[in-house]
Amino acid sequence: MSDEPTTPGSDPLIGRALVAGAAEGAVLYSSEPLSFWGGYDAETGEIIDRRHPLAGRTGTGRIMAIPATRGSSTTTAVLLEAIRRGTAPAAFLTRGPDTFLALAAIVAAQLYGRTPPVVALSPRDFETLRAITRIRLEETGAIFAY
């Protein structure tokens, strides 16, 4: 994991790919953890936890940057349903490893042949995402802002 923040055109952030994969798109960033159980609508992709800073926003197809999931293992079940329906984020960037997101991505690969990448970043690199609107994520865990 890098020590320097990235800006468009600079060196990439390097995260630890918990579930490898490539993705590209708009970043949906929050400094607050998210519970998918009761916080994410698997049918629509909307964040429905009204107390969360991302309430009302849609995660579908975006690069979701959240520090971690909150709550229990039911996060995995909700995320699996969103992956099955095509309403899940395209990838997840977290502040350190998140086992619930990784588990959902691994199981989705087996059940549905679809795997959203899950990449863990250092706290400093995760904070850098606050100022980045679009990224390209490579299978190696390299993240390029553009």
Report the pLDDT value the prediction gives residue 9, as an integer from 0 to 100: 56
- pLDDT tens, residue by residue, 30-71: 999 999 999 999 999 999 999 999 999 999 999 999 999 998
Give the model's confidence band at 7: pLDDT under 50 very low, under 70 low, under 90 confident, else very high: low
Report the pLDDT value the prediction gives residue 3, as an integer from 0 to 100: 42
Give the model's confidence band at 143: pLDDT under 50 very low, under 70 low, under 90 confident, else very high: very high
Q: Select which of 31, 72, 73, 122 is catalytic.
A: 72
Give the model's confidence band at 11: pLDDT under 50 very low, under 70 low, under 90 confident, else very high: confident
Phi and psi at 71, nearest 5°, equal 105, -150
Q: Give the type of residue at 69.
A: T
Delineate the domains of the chain, giving CATH numbers in brackets: 13-145 (3.50.30.10)
Q: What is the pTM of this model?
A: 0.92
Report the pLDDT value the prediction gives residue 105, as an integer from 0 to 100: 96
How far is residue 138's CA from residue 90's CA, in Å, rounded to a whole number? 12
How far is residue 30's CA from residue 120's CA, in Å, rounded to a whole number? 15
What number of residues does the chain have? 146
- pLDDT tens, residue by residue, 115-142: 999 999 999 999 999 999 999 999 999 9
Give the position of tokens 């159980």.
Answer: 37
72 as an active site residue: the answer is: yes
Token digits of residue 35: 């519970």
**Does residue 2 carry a pLDDT above 90?**
no
Q: Identify each DSSP E strand in 1-141 by its residue range.
A: 13-14, 16-19, 23-29, 63-65, 91-95, 118-121, 134-137
